[in-house]
Chains A and B, each alone.
Chain A
Amino acid sequence: MNQHTLSVLVENKAGVLARVSSLLARRGFNIHSLAVGPTADEGISRMTIVVDAPELEQVKKQLHKLINVVKITELDRATAVEREISLVRVSTDGQKRSDVLEVATLFDAVAVDVGVSTIMFLVTGSPDKVNDFVELVRPYGIADLVKSGRVALARDQKSRKLRAI
């Protein structure tokens, strides 16, 4: 099934998340990740929703019908910046510690908590980068993992050439 990234501006009010997620649930669409937070305007929040769905045209229109939904944009990698944060606690028993730290360096992952037999890393970047890091440390043993869910924002369409930055 295809993954779609929706950026949804909503009024910052009680119950709005329930309305949005309920609409997706009605169609049986799984929410892969969902991140919500206020925008520069206190009264408006942005939800970044990654959904597994064959197509979203009708759902987007239905979302628009929710009184508290202000704007919906479907984003993709080409036209948006997508980022994710993950905290990963990796087992560092015995000789593994230096190997794990080496992988972390390659990914700019920061050790944020160091224990006797585990280290917790903070890794940020594109969803692919975060996934790759997780896959590379998986053989050492992942004790715990959390992801923020994807956040995304459309690129400035007028300065396409600078996109590589």
Chain B
Amino acid sequence: MNTISGAQAVIKALEREGVDIVFGVPGGAILPAYDPLYDSPIRHVLARHEQGAGHMAEGYAWATGKVGVCIVTSGPAATNLVTPLANALMDSIPIVAITGQVATTSVGNDAFQEAYTTGITMNATKHNYFVTNPDDIPDVIHEAFHIAATGRPGPVLVDLPKDILNAHLKWHKPPKLDLPGYKPTVEGHPRRILEAIKLIESAHRPVIYAGGGIIKANASDHLRRFAEQTNAPVVTTLMGLGGFPGTHDLFLGMPGMHGTYAATTAIQKADLLIALGVRFDDRVTGNPDFFAPHASVIHVDVDPAEIGKVRQAEIPIVGDVGRVLEQMLEAWANRPAPDHKEWLDRVKSWRADNPVRFDQNPNGPLKPQFVIEELYRRTGGDAIVVSGVGQHQMWTALHWKFSRPREWINSGGLGTMGFGVPAAIGAKAGAPERTVYLIDGDGSFQMTHQELATASAEGFPIKIALINNGVHGMVRQWQTLFYGSRYSGSELGRDTVNFPMLAEAMGCIGMRVETPGEVGPAIEKSLSINDRPVLIEFVVDPDEMVFPMVPAGGSNDQIILGPEDLE
């Protein structure tokens, strides 16, 4: 009987799933799997830290829509993966993590580099597996990919003890999936679809509130057609940016804590909220008791647990948002687009009268918003944009006009600082022909910047705009507003680190920009370099704050539009 090792089966199973790249760091328990990987057509990217490997898999998944894969050893490597797993769970990113484990004979004995990986990650994954029989490997890997990619996507972890990797099995085709407890609903209920159409027809002030689900379901074309047919203005959440053209006449921006006045206010005044692949996150709703007080809600989501979680829906529709939009478009048929002129005039005047704004004094300190707008202008918006977490993330969300899906990659639900550098590498790995521009904060950057070495060693020429305000800006903003400007623990120092030198030390090009006039040329230069990563440090005003703002837990009727609104 022809047999192969468990380790060979793992790599073969990955190949069978169509995997062409994995991100990882080797170590004792996973070493058996690294040996067949050496001969495999699958490319291995050596991350400098397992957290980096995890975020790279996420960036890859986000940019490509495929499942991202990371592979690490047991114990500390597996615990280093917890953050990216939790991030992928929150933001519904399909990744599969392969972890080594000590031999089954040692499991539970506090063996060297043993951690209870499946226990620790139980609540940071959509599902996980502890494999105790080598014959299960082909099936488990197949299931893992299926679960990661279908329904509401998410992270799946497969923990493989070393003796199982070394044992032998007969390679086989995976049997038909047998998951009696996992049958995601794709089709929306036809009666609900008709009810929804009726409600949309009778609405006077509809708003489409679209989220990350639109991107995950590849439903942005459907969304645009649906909005145009129903003549309803569109807001997209942080996770949904790019799911609807940012330059479209019906687009109002992002709603919520740092949303545009028009988007947040339109929801507050709406009589119908068409919620598509969203979860009524607190960053959007503020105090939910005051959120969209006049609106009936149609809520479409593939995850039934999201419907009714925060806000009761008059019409709940469980299903894939792309498929449901198709069904709605079919049901809408050749009804004329409703005349919402009065409503559209109102929302458009909110948009025209309250643009996001900032003042760049040509001789004054450099403003981060100016940098981002210049980046947008000089790239023509033609880039995949990645960010860290903080003020720079919000400014990017507000000032960049995302017009296509999968061109905006950030950490929304978990707000993971350190996501940026590795996620940008993953995105570049998935879309090598695209410009990948990371807009990072100095705090976020310093959480994972060792991955710059990965970027240059592995040939991923990403570009980085480092918004260096010398502070944990978002934290400092709250301290300014709510803690009497007592800057406890939020100052990093603008010149503690020589960032261009750091970049150069890791095989990248480094530049520093301190005045508005230098911004354009530096960006142009960065766009002309394609053989290695480039970092531009923009030294910016630490006092700049993100506006609009609705303080946490506040009502979305009370929006602070700028510093002049603060008493």
Contact = CB atoms under 8 A, between A and B. Distances in A.
A65 B130 contact: no
B182 interface: yes
A10 B308 contact: no
A15 interface: yes
Interface string A51-85: 00000011001101111111100000000000000
A58 B182 CA distance: 18
B434 to A, nearest CB: 34
B304 A22 contact: no
B8 to A, nearest CB: 25
A66 B123 contact: no
A14 B308 CA distance: 32
B127 interface: yes
A14 B130 contact: yes
A57 B305 CA distance: 9
B122 A18 contact: yes
B119 A18 contact: yes
A85 B237 CA distance: 53
A67 B179 contact: yes
B122 A19 contact: yes
A22 B122 CA distance: 9
Which residue of B119, B179, B181, B305 has the most chain A CB atoms within 10 A of its CB atom?
Answer: B181
A26 interface: yes
A117 to B, nearest CB: 42
A69 B182 CA distance: 8
A11 B143 CA distance: 15
B149 to A, nearest CB: 14
A11 B304 contact: no
Contacts of B182: 67
Given A14-B130, A58-B309, A68 B181 contact: yes
A58 B305 contact: yes
B180 interface: yes
Contacts of A18: 119, 122
B127 A64 contact: no
A10 B122 contact: no
Contacts of A44: 180
A58 B279 CA distance: 13
A70 B180 contact: yes
Contacts of A65: 126, 303, 305
A67 to B, nearest CB: 4
Given A58-B305, A65-B305, A26 B181 contact: no
B300 to A, nearest CB: 16
Contact of B181 (A11, A15, A57): A11
A69 B126 CA distance: 13
A59 B179 CA distance: 21
Which residue of A26, A64, A67, A71 has the most chain B CB atoms within 10 A of its CB atom?
Answer: A67
Contact of A61 (B130, B179, B304): B304
A66 B181 CA distance: 8
Interface in B302-354: 303-305, 308-309
Given A18-B122, A58-B309, A61-B305, A67 B130 contact: no
A64 B130 contact: no
Interface string B109-130: 0000000001100110011001
A64 B305 contact: yes
A154 to B, nearest CB: 19
B130 A15 contact: yes
Contacts of A69: 181
A10 B181 contact: yes
B238 interface: no
Nearest to A65: B305
Interface in B125-149: 126-127, 130, 132, 147
Contact of B308 (A15, A57, A64, A66): A57
Contacts of B122: 15, 18-19, 22
Interface string B280-312: 000000000000000000000001110011000
A52 to B, nearest CB: 21
Contact of A62 (B126, B127, B180, B305): B305
Nearest to A14: B130
B303 A22 contact: no
A64 B304 contact: yes
Contacts of B308: 57
Interface in B85-130: 118-119, 122-123, 126-127, 130
Contacts of B123: 22, 26
Given A58-B309, A62-B305, A70 B181 contact: yes
Interface in A81-118: none
Contacts of B304: 61, 64
A99 B182 CA distance: 55
A69 B180 CA distance: 8
Contacts of A22: 122-123
Nearest to A23: B123
Contacts of B309: 58, 61
A26 B124 CA distance: 12
Which residue of B122, B180, B308 has the most chain A CB atoms within 10 A of its CB atom?
Answer: B180
Interface of A: 10-11, 14-15, 18-19, 22, 26, 44, 57-58, 61-62, 64-71
24 contacts: A10-B181, A11-B180, A11-B181, A14-B130, A15-B118, A15-B122, A18-B119, A18-B122, A19-B122, A22-B122, A57-B308, A58-B305, A61-B309, A64-B305, A65-B305, A67-B126, A67-B127, A67-B147, A67-B181, A67-B182, A68-B181, A69-B181, A70-B180, A70-B181
- Nearest 7 CB-CB pairings of A with B: A61-B305, A70-B181, A67-B127, A67-B182, A70-B180, A69-B181, A68-B181
